[in-house]
Structures are given as structure tokens and as C-alpha cells.
Amino acid sequence: MNWWVHNAWEHGGAVELTSWIFWVLLSITLHELAHGWAALWEGDSTPRDLNRLTANPLVQMGQTSLIVFALIGFAWGMMPVRPDRFRHGRLGEAIVAFAGPMMNLVLAFISLTLLGIILSAGNADTAESMQSIRTFLFLGGFLNLVLFALNLLPIPPLDGSRILAAASLDIRRFYMHPQAQIMGFALFIAIFFFGAASFVIGAAQELALWWVSLVAQVLAGAA
């Protein structure tokens, strides 16, 4: 098995490799910051008290996550919060949990919409010179759609499990069981080994292409 850095370089060269590194670090960092900002809005000062409201990926992702990123090209982050301080209780938990995936959706919308705008104004003379920008924006949109979908899976410790736990006390009690955490980790690994991750990736690519094409067509028709 080739190292992901080698594969990225062979497939898309320096542009694809640097774009992927940039978007992974930015997307996960802003995802975690969104959790922190939502927690502050809910009345929990924990992210600020622990100096976690920073754009430093080392703080938001941690050394272990960054090492794993260097090895396999993907990573995770963590934002400490105190749900018992949320002013809206269980609703606040759902809001804080959803803030992270929502940030990824916003990033995807911005990058893919910009790409659609660029394509609507492009022509054959500028196609080659704009390829790097198109690759950069598409990777950003695609990655953030994948992060949005994966984080909403109802598997501990992903955000989807926190949203469900906020909606149902029975589900909350189930997730609090020690074995639920182990089962969640095993299920998450199984998702990658049995093809579900490929489905999410494929769907994200199709959705990204559809949105870019729609934006380009609408703007070209309006011109």
C-alpha cells in the first residue's frame, strides 16, 4: 500500500497535495471552533477558559490526530464543553453538536459556489491557468461534504450520536454504556472496511459536481 502523500502527488501533483492538507487542517479546525462558539452562545465558557478558541490546528486536533493525519491523510478534532452549563439543556446539546457539521456544510457551499462562479465565467483561454484554483475549490467542497455526512452518523463519539442523545433519554442511556463506545468505534471502522465510506465519498462527489454545474448554468444563463 502506497503512502497517501505519494498517491496524492502521483494523482494531482503539488496542487492536490497542498490543497488536501490545507482543507483538512482548516475544515477540522473550524468544525471544532464552531462547537466552541455554539457552546459559548449556550452559556458554557469552557472553550474560552481552556484557551481552545484558537485557529491553531495543533490545539484543535492534538498531536495524535496530526500524526495519524501524516500517516493516512485524515484526522479528527475535539472541543471540550460542559453540557450541564447549556442554557437550553438538551436542546443546547443538539445545537452545539450540530454546529460543527453545519460549519462544514457552509464551507462546502462557499467553495463549490465560488467554483461554479469561476466556471460560468471561464473560457478555453483561461482553462489551463485556472485548473489549480478549480482543484483547490473542488477538494474543499468535496471534503467538507464528506465531513458533514460522516459527523452526522449516529455513532459515538460522532456528532450525530450527541444529537440523538439530546433527543432521547433512552438513546442517551444506551450511549453512556461503556460497551456502546467500543461498539461505536468498531462500527466506525467497519464502515470503512465494508464500503459504506465509499458510498459517502461517491455521493459527496456527485453532489459537489451537481451543485457546481447548477451554479455555473444559472449564472451563464443569466449573463
- Taking each helix axis from N to C end, the angle separating 89-121 and 159-167, rounded to the nearest 10 degrees, works out to 140
pTM score: 0.91
In terms of residue numbers, what domain contains 23?
Answer: 4-222
Q: How many Å apart are CA 196 and CA 150, to the nearest integer? A: 10
How large is the C-alpha radius of gyration of the chain? 19
Q: How many Å apart are CA 104 and CA 94, to the nearest integer? A: 16
Q: Give the tens place of pLDDT for each residue, 94-120.
A: 999 999 999 999 999 999 999 999 998
Whether the bond between 157 and the residue before it is cis, its omega within 30 degrees of 0, is yes
Q: Give the tens place of pLDDT for each residue, 181-215.
A: 777 777 777 776 666 678 888 999 999 999 999 99
Q: How many Å apart are CA 199 and CA 145, to the nearest integer? A: 13
Please identify every residue annotated as catalytic.
Answer: 32
When divided into structural domains, the chain yields a total of 1
- Residue 48 in 3-state DSSP? helix
